[in-house]
Structure 1
């Protein structure tokens, strides 16, 4: 039994959710998102929430039960409050700046790295060593943050590179004489 799947997804005030067949739609102050639930999972509206149940007790249906409930919760949370990932830049001369909708990164290469923000995602640079990626869709926000981090992943000796704000870098000891 899925412990997560048992709980219905609460729909907060200001968000309207609807279930039409296998499609769950949520509209809120931040926008509108849709999610098509797998056929092995049954979705229905119940008194102020969205309930998710497996159609049968097969392993496949039970494995998709909790994941479907989490995806629905993510779209409801995304249209009501949105998602945000914070990145930090460590290293001498490493910095970030915005040029219109394009992120410009100086990461120790012989050239500047430019990253164009996809539709639905906003990138802000409050400080030259801090990047904030925000948006409605959790998957897209995480993907954009991962792509920015990939330009210069943090290295284990000095900790230089782009890392998540809540990430800890396991440091290695340098050479010994």
Structure 2
């Protein structure tokens, strides 16, 4: 049995959840999110919680159970608190700035990298070496953070590049004489 799947998802006050036409829609103070429902899982909105159980006892239904419960939990957390990823830029001359719906990165290339910020996300640059990406959809926040990081991944010798806050970069020793 799934330890995660057994726990019901609590619905905080100010949040409503509806199941209609194979879709779970969650509305909260930060916005509205919806998710398509799997046929292998039964979803029930009961009072102040959402129950997630496998529809049958197949191996695939049990495998989906915990993941589907986590996806439902992410919807509820997204419309109440939202999600944030913080990227740190390390390197001489590397910097970032946000200009409206565009993130401008200077990463040592012969040109600046301009990235369009997807709809529903907010990008802030409190200083030139920090980028904060926030939004209500966990997948969209993580995807855009990964796209930004892809432009200059941290290298193991000097640690230059774009890394997530709190990420450990395994450092290597340089060439010896």
Partner Cα distance (1:47, 1:118) in 2: 35
**For residues 136-173 of structure 1, what are the alpha-carbon distances to aligned partners after superposition, in whole Å with 9 as ceiling and x for unaligned?**
10000000000000000000000000000010100000
The answer as to 2:76 corresponding to 1:63 is: no
Partner Cα distance (1:98, 1:6) in 2: 42
TM-score, structure 1 as length reference: 0.98
**For residues 82-110 of structure 1, what are the alpha-carbon distances to aligned partners after superposition, in whole Å with 9 as ceiling and x for unaligned?**
00000000000100011221111110111
The answer as to 2:52 corresponding to 1:52 is: yes
Measured after TM superposition, the shift of residue 23 of structure 1 is: 1.7
2:2 paired residue number: 2
TM-score, structure 2 as length reference: 0.98
2:175 paired residue number: 175
State the number of aligned residues.
Answer: 177
Q: Which runs of 5+ in 2 are unaligned?
A: none
- Residues 132-151 of structure 1: pairs in structure 2 closer than 5 A: 132-151=132-151
Q: Report the aligned-residue RMSD.
A: 0.8
2:22 paired residue number: 22
Partner Cα distance (2:21, 2:110) in 1: 54
Partner Cα distance (2:144, 2:161) in 1: 16
Measured after TM superposition, the shift of residue 112 of structure 1 is: 0.5
The answer as to 2:90 corresponding to 1:90 is: yes
Partner Cα distance (2:161, 2:21) in 1: 46
